Amino acid sequence: MTIAKGDKVPSATFLKMGDEGPAAVPSSEIFDGQTVVLFALPGAFTGTCTTAHVPSFMRTADQFKAKGADRVVCVSVNDPFVMKAWDDATGASGAGIEFLADPESEFTKGVGMNFSAPPVGFVDRSQRYACIIKDGEVAAVGVDANPGECDLSAGEALLAQM
């Protein structure tokens, strides 16, 4: 089953770099009682993810928050060290975006958005999508047809649904 409006998000554990190193972040801590703008993508430091997807949410993060979003979160099937380095390279946290690692693709598989492309080293990576989640329930979602597109999942497209 792929993520759809009205779905409840699955229980999963993300990882995030903290002061003491990688820290577990349960999905309940992210979603319960909050409005979350979540966007997910195939991989840190990859072309479209770095040049289009993250920048679209850097441009719109303040607008989402002005419309009631508590947090803007980027999820990728990478380790927390890579996600921290990518955050540092893009400056996304300065724009109000949290980067969370889904290293075992637990959340990604739970929402049915995993795919593999072994020739480029992608195994159980995330398809490109974005959604608005209110208290753990999907209120809006945009999914792009292939990993190189960033149209329906772009910050501006999702903002229009909020």
Maximum alpha-carbon separation in the chain: 42
Identified catalytic residue from 49, 74, 131, 150: 49
Q: Are 37 and 65 in contact (CB under 8 A)?
A: no
Long-range pairs for 113-119: beta carbons < 8 A, 24 or more residues apart: 113/2, 113/3, 113/40, 113/143, 114/77, 115/42, 115/147, 117/147
Q: Is 74 a catalytic residue?
A: no
- The position carrying tokens 């993508």 is 41
Bridge-based pairing state of the strands 114-117 and 122-126 = antiparallel
- The DSSP output letter for 28 is H
Active site residues: 49
